[in-house]
Amino acid sequence: MANKKAANAASASSFDSASLNYTKEDFKAKIVHHLHSTLGTSENKATKQSWWKATCAAVNELVYERLTQTQQTHANKDTRAVHYLSAEFLMGRLTANNLHNLHLFNVCSDALKDLGINLTDLCEEEPDMALGNGGLGRLAACFIDSLATLNLPALGYGIHYENGLFRQEIHNGRQIERPDSWREYGNPWEICRPESIQEVALGGYVETIYSEKDGSLKKVWHPAQKIKGVPWDIPVVGYNGTTVNILRLWESKAPESFDWDVFNAGGYVDAQAEKARAETISKVLYPNDSTEAGKILRLVQQYFFSACSLKDILRRYKRAHTLASGKVDYSEFANKIAVQLNDTHPTIAIPELMRIFVDEEGLGWEEAWNICYKVFSYTNHTLLPEALEKWPVYIFERVLPRHLEIIYEINRRFLEGECERVFPGNDFIKAKLSLIEEGSTRMVRMGNLCVVGSHKVNGVAAIHSKLVKEDLFPEYAQIWNDKFCNVTNGVTPRRWMLSCNPELAKLYTETLGSDEWVTKLDKLKDLKKYADNADFQKKFMAIKHANKVKLATVIKAETGIEVDPNALFDIQIKRLHEYKRQQLNLLYILALYRRVLENPDLEMTPHVFIFGSKAAPGYKMAKDIIYAINKVGERINNDARIKGKIKVVFMPNYRVSLAEKLIPAADVSQQISTAGYEASGTGNMKLAMNGAITLGTMDGANIEIVEEAGEENNAIFGLSVDEVKSVKANGYNPWDYYNRDHEIKKALDWLDSDYFTPGFPGELAGIKRALLEGGDTYLALADFRSYSDAHARLEKMYANKKGWAKSAILNSITMGKFNSDRSIQDYVDQVWSLETCLVK
Ligand code: CBF
C-alpha cells in the first residue's frame, strides 16, 4: 500500500551527537585509536590521508552498527524493498555528507581541531567517487540518500568501476582525458562482501531438449564463460534517522585468478588472460562504444551488473520464501520486490528474470510474465535517439543467445496479443512497436523492451513526461494509458544546501528557529516574509559574497585567472552537448566583447562567465566548443582595453566536489537548452536553491522552477517546445539569422579569423560551420536575440541591489518541490507502493 507518511517518518527517529554519546572527547579518542590500530601510524607521522581515513573509520563504527540494525530489521519484517538498478551512481565525496547525516559534523570538526587538523581541509583528501557521467548518475545518488532518509527499504545496485569518469585536464585550451583511479589507495567507505559473490554466464549456445514424457521442449543454455561478481557495499546513511541502506557495486573477476596448468607449462602471460578479460568488464565507466568491441563490452557490463543484482535479490527472497518442501513460493515475489530501471542500461534484467523463472525455477511462461512486469518499472531520462539503446541482434546471438530467444518470445506474444487487439492488422504500427528493428542490421530496441516489460514508465519532469507519452511512445500509450506517469526530479538538500552552503543553512535555521527544512524543504516558504526585509537581505547577500570570495580563490588556484567577487558570477555547469548550447553562451560572450571594444565606456556590471564541463571523448564538436571557450577566454581575460569588465573562466575537471564550490557562489544559473531537449536538469534546481537566478528556456524542470519561484524573479527567453517544433517543421534556415543580425554575423565571422588563435586562422571555424552549413540543429541562432535581451534584463535586475536580493531569496526558498525526498515520495505513491520501516 502506498504510504504518504514517509516524509514525516524521516524526522520521527531523530538523534544528535549527544544522544549518541559521541562527545568531542570520544571522537578524539576514536580517531586516534584508528590512527594507531587501523592505519598503523602515529600522530606525529600521520599524513592527511591517514587522518582522513582514521576519521572515516571512527564514523564507520556508528555507520556499521546502524547498517546491521537496518538489515536485521528489514529481514525480520520481510519488508517490501525497491532495488534501484543503475549503471551510474555519481556519489562524489562521502565524508562531509555522512557526518552531516549523522549530525556529527560539528563534533567531529571540534575533535579534529583539538588534534590540530582542519576538517574542511581533510575532506579535500577524499577522491570523488565519479561512477557516473552526469545528471542520471547524480540523480541516482540523490535518490538513495532520500530513500534512506525516508526510512524506506532500498538497495542501490551498480558497477564497481575501477576507473570512474575520466579526469579532465586542459592543455593549451584542449580537453585531455586521464584515467580516474578513485580507489588506488583504498576507500574507507566501502566494504567487500565475498560471502555474497555471484557468478554469471556469457556466450555459448542454447540446446533444445524434447521431453518424450510430455512432449514439451526445454531450453538449456550452455554458456562459454563464467564471470564472478564481487560485491562492494557502500553504506548509505539517511539524514536524521537510523536507516543505513546499502549501495552494492559489482566488481568483475575471473572464477580462478589464473590457470595453474598453463602457468606451470611456462605460459606466464597466457595464464592470466582470462583474468584480464573478466576484469575488463568493470574496469571503466562507459567505454567508447563506437567500435564493435566497445559495444559488446557495454552490453556485457549491463548484463553483468543486472544479472548479479537479480541473483542477489533472489537469494534474499529465497531465504524468506522457501517452503518446508524445499520449493520456493514465488506468489509473493511481486509483492516483495520492486526493481527500478534507471534508463535503458539495465533493461536486460527483464529477460534475465524471465530466464531464471522459466529455465531455472520451472515456472510457466504466463506465471513468470505476470510476476515479471509487476516487478519492473522504467525511468526515461532523455528523448535523444542516440541514448535510446539498440543492440545488434548478432551481438546478442554471441553474448546472450538465450536472452535473445526470450526477447523474441516476449515480442511475439506482445505483437499477437495487446498490439493486435488495439491495432488490428496494422503492420506499420507493429513494426514500430516491435522489440526488433528490421533492417540491414537487425536491432533489439531496449526502450521498447522496457515499456513492454514494465508496469510503469515515467519521465523526469512534467513537460518531458508529456513528450515521452505523446511523442516518443504514443502508440504504447494508446495500449496502456495508465502505464505512463511523471516524477519530476529532485536533489538532496542535505548535500546541495546544508553541506555545501553551511552559512546559508545556518541563516535559515536561525531565522526559522528550526532545521526542519533540511528534510521538509517546503518549510523554507515560511521565510517569504523576509524576502523584502533589509536586514535579512543583507545577511543573505553577505553569504553569497563570501561564497564568491571563496570561489575566486579556487579559480585563481586552478586557472590562474583573477576574478572580482563584486562582479556578476554567471555559471553554466553541465556536460558539454550541443543541445545544452554552451555555444550560445559563447556567441553572447563574443557579442558582448565586441560591444565593449566598440564602446569602451559602455556601462555594464562586470561579468564573470564561468563554465564547468566535460565532453565525451569521441564527441568532436563538444571538444571544439571547449577549445573555443578557452581560446576566447584567454584573449578576453588578457585584453586591457576592456578593463576587466568581462572575464571567462573554464574550470577544469568539473565534478561533484567542484560543483559544491561553484553552486553556492552563483548569481546566475544558465539553463539554456533548446526547448524539448533537456529532460529535466537537476543543476538548475541546485543553483536556484542556493539563490541563483535562472537565465533559461522553458525546458525540462525550468518550467516548474519558474512556476514556483515566479517568472519575474528569473530571466526566461527563447522558443517554447511547440515553437521549436513549428520552426523546424517550417524549414529552419540559420543563414537568415546570420544575414539579418549583424551581431550574430560578426561573432561567427570572428571565429573564421585567427583573432583568438593567433597564427592559426580557422581553428574555431567548426562552430560556425555547424551553425550555418550544419543547419544549427539546436536553434542557437534562432534564440540568440531573445537570449541577448534576457541578459539585458538580468543586468537591469542586478543593478537594483534590493530587487536582486529579493529575487535571489525567493528562488532559494521556493524550491521545496525539488527536494529529492518529494521525488521519492512520488515514486512510492505512483510506482513502488513501499512502506516506511523505522529502525530502532
Ligand atoms: O534525469 C536525470 C537527468 O538525466 C540526464 O542527465 C540524462 O542522462 N539523460 C538528462 O539529460 C537530464 O535532463 C536529467 O535531469
What secondary structure, in 3-state letters, does 506-521 show? HHHHHHHCCCHHHCCH
Mutate to test the pocket of ligand 1, among 139, 286, 703, 827 (most ligand atoms within 8 A of CB): 139
Residue 464 CA: which ligand 1 atom is closest? 13
Cα(574) to ligand 1 centroid in Å equals 10
Beta bridge pairs of residue 177:
168
Instruction: State whether the beta carbon of 680 lies less than 6 angstroms from ligand 1.
Output: yes
Cα(700) to ligand 1 centroid in Å equals 10
Cβ atoms of residues 240 and 148 within 8 Å: no
Q: Which pLDDT belongs to residue 270? A: 72
Chain mean position to CA 635: 34
Q: What are the start-end ranges of the E strands in 460-564? A: 484-486
Cα(489) to ligand 1 centroid in Å equals 9
Query: How many Å apart are CA 823 and CA 462, to the nearest integer?
Result: 12
Indicate if 5 belongs to the active site: no
Would you call 178 exposed, middle or buried from its count of C-beta atoms within 10 A (0-12, 13-18, 19+)?
Answer: exposed
Query: How many Å apart are CA 142 and CA 819, to the nearest integer?
Result: 9
Residue 379 CA: which ligand 1 atom is closest? 1
Instruction: State whether the beta carbon of 582 lies less than 6 angstroms from ligand 1.
Output: no
Only one residue has cell 527517529, namely 13
Q: What are the start-end ranges of the E strands in 189-304? A: 191-192, 198-202, 205-210, 217-222, 225-237, 244-253
Instruction: State whether the beta carbon of 382 lies less than 6 angstroms from ligand 1.
Output: yes
H helices of 690-733, in order, are 702-709, 721-729
Backbone phi and psi for residue 335, each to the nearest 5 degrees, phi listed first: -80, -20
Query: How many Å apart are CA 461 and CA 489, to the nearest integer?
Result: 6
Cα(673) to ligand 1 centroid in Å equals 12
Max Cα–Cα distance, the chain, nearest Å: 95
Cβ atoms of residues 786 and 672 within 8 Å: no
What Rg value do the Cα atoms of the chain yield, rounded?
28
Triad 55, 60, 65: Cα angle to 5° = 150
Query: How many Å apart are CA 381 and CA 344, to the nearest integer?
Result: 9
Query: How many Å apart are CA 335 and CA 661, to the nearest integer?
Result: 43
Query: How many Å apart are CA 299 and CA 815, to the nearest integer?
Result: 38
The 8-class DSSP code of residue 159 comes to: E
Instruction: State whether the beta carbon of 683 lies less than 6 angstroms from ligand 1.
Output: no
Q: Which pLDDT belongs to residue 258? A: 61
Query: How many Å apart are CA 138 and CA 819, to the nearest integer?
Result: 14
Indicate if 682 belongs to the active site: yes
Only one residue has cell 514525516, namely 8
Query: How many Å apart are CA 440 and CA 670, to the nearest integer?
Result: 42
Cβ atoms of residues 178 and 526 within 8 Å: no
The 8-class DSSP code of residue 21 comes to: T
H/E segment holding residue 593? helix 582-598
Q: What are the start-end ranges of the E strands in 519-606? A: 568-573
**CATH code of the region 6-489+825-832:** 3.40.50.2000
Ligand 1 atom 4 nearest Cα? 136
- Taking residue 532's Cβ as centre, other Cβ atoms within 10 Å add up to 14
Chain mean position to CA 530: 34
Q: Among residues 523, 487, 568, which one has the least CA distance to residue 828?
A: 487
Residue 161: all three cell numbers together: 568501476
Single out the catalytic residue among 160, 316, 483, 574.
574
Q: Among residues 695, 699, 694, 696, which one has the least CA distance to residue 675?
A: 699
Q: What are the start-end ranges of the E strands in 370-521? A: 376-379, 390-392, 436-437, 443-445, 456-459, 484-486
Instruction: State whether the beta carbon of 682 lies less than 6 angstroms from ligand 1.
Output: yes
Single out the catalytic residue among 580, 645, 661, 791.
580
Ligand 1 atom 12 nearest Cα? 681
**3-state per-residue secondary structure call for 598-659:** HCCCCCCCCEEEEEECCCCCCCHHHHHHHHHHHHHHHHHHCCHHHCCCEEEEEECCCCHHHH
Instruction: State whether the beta carbon of 681 lies less than 6 angstroms from ligand 1.
Output: yes
Ligand 1 atom 2 nearest Cα? 136
H helices of 337-384, in order, are 349-355, 365-375
Residue 278: all three cell numbers together: 573478466
Residue 382 CA: which ligand 1 atom is closest? 9
Mutate to test the pocket of ligand 1, among 90, 382, 489, 674 (most ligand atoms within 8 A of CB): 382
Indicate if 686 belongs to the active site: yes
Cα(343) to ligand 1 centroid in Å equals 10
Beta bridge pairs of residue 209:
218
Q: Which pLDDT belongs to residue 211? A: 85
Cα(458) to ligand 1 centroid in Å equals 13
Mutate to test the pocket of ligand 1, among 383, 682, 826 (most ligand atoms within 8 A of CB): 682
Instruction: State whether the beta carbon of 664 lies less than 6 angstroms from ligand 1.
Output: no
Indicate if 442 belongs to the active site: no
Residues with Cβ within 8 Å of 520's Cβ and at least 6 positions away in sequence, in order, are 7, 11, 816, 819, 821
Indicate if 623 belongs to the active site: no
Query: How many Å apart are CA 756 and CA 463, to the nearest integer?
Result: 39
Q: Which pLDDT belongs to residue 274? A: 81
* Interface confidence (ipTM) of the complex: 0.99
Cα separations (Å) of 475 from 92, 433, 481, 830? 40, 8, 9, 22
| CATH 3.40.50.2000 domain locations along the chain | 6-489+825-832, 494-720+738-759+779-818
Single out the catalytic residue among 248, 686, 791, 806.
686
Only one residue has cell 534562432, namely 782
Mutate to test the pocket of ligand 1, among 378, 680, 820 (most ligand atoms within 8 A of CB): 680
Q: At what angle do helices 365-375 and 446-453 cross, to 10 degrees?
A: 100
Cβ atoms of residues 573 and 685 within 8 Å: no
Query: How many Å apart are CA 446 and CA 410, to the nearest integer?
Result: 13
Indicate if 379 belongs to the active site: no
Cβ atoms of residues 836 and 82 within 8 Å: no
Residue 489 CA: which ligand 1 atom is closest? 1
Q: Among residues 127, 110, 158, which one has the least CA distance to residue 52?
A: 127
Single out the catalytic residue among 74, 494, 575, 806.
575
Class at the top of the CATH hierarchy for domain 494-720+738-759+779-818 = alpha beta
Instruction: State whether the beta carbon of 306 lies less than 6 angstroms from ligand 1.
Output: no
Mean pLDDT by 10 residues, the chain (840 residues): 41 49 91 98 96 98 96 97 98 98 96 98 96 96 98 98 96 97 94 98 96 88 97 96 94 82 70 84 78 84 98 97 97 98 97 98 97 98 89 97 98 98 98 98 98 98 98 98 98 98 98 98 98 98 98 98 98 97 98 97 96 95 98 98 97 98 98 98 98 98 98 98 98 98 98 96 97 98 98 97 98 98 98 95
Residue 387 CA: which ligand 1 atom is closest? 9
Mutate to test the pocket of ligand 1, among 84, 88, 90, 136 (most ligand atoms within 8 A of CB): 136
